[in-house]
Amino acid sequence: MKFALEEKIALLETLYSHLERAQGSFSFACEKGCNLCCTNRVFTTSIEARYVFEALKQEDFSLFENQQFYSPKLTHNQTLWLYSQGEEPPAEIFYELERCPLLTREGLCSVYERRPLMCRIMVSSKKCSYDSPAEPPNEVYLMGLLALQIAENVDIGGLYGNLFHLLSLWRDFYLGNLEEIPSHVLPTFYFEELPLLPAEKKLRNWVGSLYRTELNPGVTFKDLLEKLREDFKKSQSLIFLQDIFST
């Protein structure tokens, strides 16, 4: 039963468009061709990477094939969970950032319509420069964090890591060359509790309207998310690819 792939992508597309609609009521200084935030440090879930993968051609892999990419030590939700326990996550080691290999010569994103959430939430109220990073409005920033948490929950039983590691993983999978899950990607971590304060009414409403969005008649975003979770719990296997693609 190839249940998870299509359902996860439907949830992801709904999350992306819900976020885009909400961001549309703010004004940003971002414009076509500004790309200071486009680096090779893009962390995603495996299902987001799969969504980008569909937009790539075989030759596009040569853009990043032999490069080194930084891997996260923890997933987004593992970090949130640690904070919720009053603990600090281990310090990340930051390497020199390079330009994102998916930028065209003209400085445009070659997968713009399919870009991951981490790129979608990178917006700024003022023009950025090398000395002055992006500054999103607080509400937009918090909405982005919630979206990242929900996106990781959507990819239950999946993987988390650097976009470019995950793209190579999908390529190897479809070529039949994937023998094991590489150690530089992490399993996703389901963390349901959203860090929302009672006073954060707009954000609560935003999440509420996302969860109530119908993907199919009578089936809401939340229904489908819960179904994926139940299916995952029932599954005897915790092996990512087997869990997603087993028949």
Q: Is 181 in the site for ligand SF4 (CB under 6 A)?
A: no
Report in angstroms how near the CB of residue 37 gets to ligand SF4 at its nearest: 7
The site map against ligand SF4 for 73-92 (x = CB under 6 A) is --------------------
Tell me the C-alpha distance between 8 and 159, whole Å.
Answer: 13
Contact 148, 118 (CB under 8 A): yes
Which one of 42, 140, 159, 224 is in contact with ligand SF4 (CB under 6 A)?
Answer: 42
Phi/psi at 31 (5° precision): -145, 165
Q: Is 49 in the site for ligand SF4 (CB under 6 A)?
A: no
Q: Is 121 in the site for ligand SF4 (CB under 6 A)?
A: no
Q: Is 143 in the site for ligand SF4 (CB under 6 A)?
A: no
Tell me the C-alpha distance between 160 and 224, whole Å.
Answer: 21
Judged by CB under 6 A, the chain residues 92 through 111 that form the site for ligand SF4 are 100, 102-103, 109, 111
98 vs 200, which CB is nearer to ligand SF4?
A: 98
Got the DSSP string for 79-136? HHHHHHTT-PPPPPPPPPP-B-TTB-TTS-BTTGGG--HHHHT---SS--BTTB----
Report in angstroms how near the CB of residue 123 gets to ligand SF4 at its nearest: 11
3-state secondary structure of 191: coil
Which one of 119, 134, 154, 169 is in contact with ligand SF4 (CB under 6 A)?
Answer: 119
Phi-psi region of 78 (alpha: psi -120 to 50; beta: other; left: phi over 0): alpha
Report in angstroms how near the CB of residue 42 gets to ligand SF4 at its nearest: 5
Tell me the C-alpha distance between 40 and 29, whole Å.
Answer: 22
97 vs 238, which CB is nearer to ligand SF4?
A: 97
Closest CA to 169 of 51, 60, 49: 49
What is the contact surface with ligand SF4 in residues (CB under 6 A)? 35, 38, 42, 100, 102-103, 109, 111, 115, 119
